[in-house]
Chain A
Amino acid sequence: MGLKMIVMVKQVPDTHNISGEAMKPDGTVNRNALPAIFNPEDLNALEEALKIKEKTGGFVTAISMGPQKALDVLKECLYRGADNVVLVTDRRFAGADTLATSYALKRAIETVGKFDLVLCGRQAIDGDTAQVGPQIAEKLNINQLTCVSEVVDVDDKAITVRRTVDDGHEIVKSCFPTLLTVTSDANKPRPPSVKRVMSYKNTTCDCCSTDTEISCISETAGNLLECDVDYIDADPEKCGISGSPTKVIKVKNVVLTTGNSKKIPNTESGIGDLIDELRNDNILG
């Protein structure tokens, strides 16, 4: 018994800590030089699933779509307490915008099996779009509760959460199945467990071929599975670039114009003159 939960996790470049080395001479970012990290709010989504599991019992499966390297974040999920993890990887997924991403993830979720609750991070720091969660919910034809900052109550039929909204908060309740997007205020993610690191460190990835039967949400834990477009039975036309309605047509480096900034000497008289000027122009009262 208990709840069947699926957590969506993404590996992202660490855009919050862009260091000097990551900048190319022409002023653009060298993606490859940025460390790849676990998207921060996805850790909060995982933590919330683990907390719910402690309360109601259940099963937690983490899914990520990305290159082979994304196995890092999935292993991290196993270390922290996820039961099974699934990597969805295929060159045909490349170049996906949020619509194509949510289509592929929806197929992956359906392949994994029946579920009560899907948990996403509110947004990924590489784009800050916060679109994939609600789009997965629409594609699965289920309800969504976004910007969840606290799970107030949960039982085997329904969940009650606090949503942080622009001008305050709401307490809302939904029956299962539903999808949550979780914010960083919700919890403090637990560290990996040493015991679990020992048991899963050397776990190797099983590639699913069309005749392997996976029901990830089964009672066997510790699986690290990999599947492609065909395995999740996705229409390649709806994946990757061909499934993405948005096109980036122009990318402009931010050119820093050497402006007509007036240099104010850092002295009492220099700053005094500045204050005078602002007063005369009625900028300061």
Chain B
Amino acid sequence: MTIENSIMVFIEQRDGKVADVSLELICEAKRLAKSLGVPVTGVAAGHHMSENLKPLGGYGCEKVYYTDDKRLSYFTSVPYAKVIVKTIKKYHPQIVLFGASTTGRDVAPRVASEMKCGLTADCTELKIGNYKTKSKEYKNILHQIRPAFGGNIIATIVSPEGGISMATVREGVMKMSALDISIKAEVIKETCDLADDDFMTEVIEIVRKEKRVNLKSAQIIVSAGMGANSPEALKLVKELASVLGGEVGSSRPVVDSGTLSRERQVGQTGTTVRPNLYIACGISGQIQHRAGMAEAKRIIAINSDENAPIFDIAHYGIVGDVCDVIPKMIKAYKAEA
């Protein structure tokens, strides 16, 4: 048995192609691993995808423990959880990271339950630090940071006992750094000892829909909050986005109200964006929203309440009604075009 003390990332795949969130997590793991002096490894399951795993080395993943089986081509809960648990038990990583995707959020809790270890969902920041109780001091453990309880607090969570910490992180939260294609990861094949009985879910059909909205790559985002959720204001938000050549984003309550689709939600439980320009229209600026947009290069906030928290992170603040301000912006932009 090899005890590695690595940071392990669950490598999520679709049709054999590695998901972006896994690459982002490898980059974050690399950063954490540096301060611990340990390697970054990956755990993957799939079929005929060794070649797609080698490039992970370029992001900082040294080895990938890969279980290949035709029955693992598609994600199903029990077999994937078993593969991950087996790999963890064999190599003893001290930290395991999962994307907070529908797949990661399905399998991570199952793995954590079997390993009887802590799992923190939707972290917005990860750090290595110490933790002291009255009787004991824990050195170099994972500090998992996430907004909690209505966003009014930021909680730092640790799982000191049990020797293993697990966390999920949403796509886009961690930065992906440039690929060094000359470095290849070592792909280590693990034997698959799953029985047919472990495959309890029969996949009948998979329908992938093209993402119609790509907030992550938009350079300009105009977002509507509850202060811009009237038909009139929404029309103006869409018009401003189209005039500036940007995408429409939104806060969560607007999505919950059904006026904009879920894929437009910016924030902790939506998409994290880093555009050149973010225009927040009638958005109060709660932490869960800010978690998804605070790193925009420039932020304009339009809000009728001069004390709205969004003004604290905006580079430019306009106090006023969205229906009054947006037409002026459109006019000014067109006038100089």
Our verdict on whether A and B bind, yes or no, reads yes
A259 cross-chain contacts in B, Cβ below 8 A? 311-314
CA gap between A86 and B287 in the complex, in Å: 36
B325 & A28 in contact (Cβ 8 Å cutoff): no
B14 & A128 in contact (Cβ 8 Å cutoff): no
Q: Tell yes or no: B235 within 8 A of A by CB.
A: no
CA gap between A73 and B110 in the complex, in Å: 27
Which of B107, B155, B309 contacts A251, CB < 8 Å? B155
B157 & A249 in contact (Cβ 8 Å cutoff): yes
**From residue 134 to 150 of chain B, which have CB atoms closer than 8 A to chain A?**
143, 147-150
A139 cross-chain contacts in B, Cβ below 8 A? 113
A275 & B336 in contact (Cβ 8 Å cutoff): yes
A144 & B77 in contact (Cβ 8 Å cutoff): yes
Which of A138, A166, A244, A272 contacts B335, CB < 8 Å? A272
Which of A95-103, A197-205, A208-216 lies on the face that meets chain B? A95-103
Q: Tell yes or no: B122 within 8 A of A by CB.
A: yes
CA gap between A230 and B156 in the complex, in Å: 33
A254 & B206 in contact (Cβ 8 Å cutoff): no
CA gap between A242 and B107 in the complex, in Å: 25
A264 cross-chain contacts in B, Cβ below 8 A? 300, 316-318
Closest to A285 in B: B245
Which of A49-57, A109-117, A171-179, A187-195 lies on the face that meets chain B? A171-179
**From residue 30 to 55 of chain B, which have CB atoms closer than 8 A to chain A?**
none
**Contacts A245-B159, A247-B159, A275-B329 hold; do A266 and B269 have CB atoms under 8 A apart?**
no
CA gap between A138 and B107 in the complex, in Å: 10
CA gap between A172 and B205 in the complex, in Å: 7
A266 cross-chain contacts in B, Cβ below 8 A? 318-320, 324-325, 328
Q: Tell yes or no: A246 within 8 A of B by CB.
A: yes
B117 & A172 in contact (Cβ 8 Å cutoff): no
A172 cross-chain contacts in B, Cβ below 8 A? 76, 201-204
User: Which of B109, B206, B220 has its CB near the most chain A CB atoms (within 10 A)?
Assistant: B109
What's the minimum C-beta distance from A92 to chain B, rounded to whole angstroms? 18
A245 & B102 in contact (Cβ 8 Å cutoff): no
Residues of chain A at interface, number, CB under 8 A = 79
Closest to A238 in B: B116
**Contacts A102-B113, A261-B316 hold; do A249 and B311 have CB atoms under 8 A apart?**
no
B201 & A167 in contact (Cβ 8 Å cutoff): no
Which of B65-73, B176-184, B188-196, B207-215 lies on the face that meets chain A? B207-215
**From residue 151 to 186 of chain A, which have CB atoms closer than 8 A to chain B?**
160, 163-175, 178
Q: Tell yes or no: B81 within 8 A of A by CB.
A: yes
CA gap between A27 and B151 in the complex, in Å: 11
A253 & B152 in contact (Cβ 8 Å cutoff): yes
**Contacts A131-B121, A264-B316 hold; do A28 and B152 have CB atoms under 8 A apart?**
yes
Which of A63-71, A77-85, A218-226, A276-284 lies on the face that meets chain B? A276-284
Q: Give the interface size bracket for B toward A.
A: 35 or more
Q: Tell yes or no: B200 within 8 A of A by CB.
A: yes
B77 & A143 in contact (Cβ 8 Å cutoff): yes
CA gap between A102 and B109 in the complex, in Å: 10
B209 & A168 in contact (Cβ 8 Å cutoff): yes
CA gap between A214 and B162 in the complex, in Å: 36
Which of A15, A134, A261 contacts B311, CB < 8 Å? A261
A145 cross-chain contacts in B, Cβ below 8 A? 77, 201
What's the minimum C-beta distance from B110 to chain A, rounded to whole angstroms? 4
CA gap between A281 and B200 in the complex, in Å: 57
**Contacts A134-B110, A170-B205 hold; do A253 and B153 have CB atoms under 8 A apart?**
yes
Considering the complex of A and B, which 9 residue pairs feature the smallest CB-CB distances, nearest first? A245-B118, A246-B118, A143-B200, A266-B320, A131-B109, A250-B156, A138-B113, A134-B109, A135-B113
What is the interface of chain B, defined by CB distance below 8 A to chain A? 14, 76-78, 81, 101-103, 105-110, 112-114, 116-122, 131, 143, 147-162, 200-209, 211, 220, 244-245, 253, 256, 269, 276-277, 287, 297-298, 300-301, 309, 311-320, 324-325, 328-329, 331-333, 335-336
Q: Could you name 27 residue pairs across A and B whose Cβ atoms are closer than 8 Å?
A: A98-B109, A99-B112, A131-B109, A138-B113, A145-B77, A145-B201, A169-B207, A170-B203, A170-B205, A170-B206, A172-B202, A173-B204, A174-B202, A245-B159, A245-B162, A246-B158, A247-B160, A249-B157, A250-B156, A251-B154, A261-B301, A261-B311, A261-B312, A264-B316, A264-B317, A266-B318, A283-B277
What is the interface of chain A, defined by CB distance below 8 A to chain B? 15-16, 18, 23, 27-29, 31, 97-99, 102, 126-135, 137-139, 143-147, 160, 163-175, 178, 244-254, 256-259, 261-264, 266-268, 270-272, 274-276, 278-279, 281, 283-285
15 new A-B contacts at CB < 8 Å, known A170-B206, A246-B120 = A29-B150, A99-B113, A129-B122, A131-B121, A167-B211, A172-B202, A245-B162, A247-B160, A251-B155, A253-B153, A256-B312, A264-B316, A272-B335, A275-B336, A278-B277
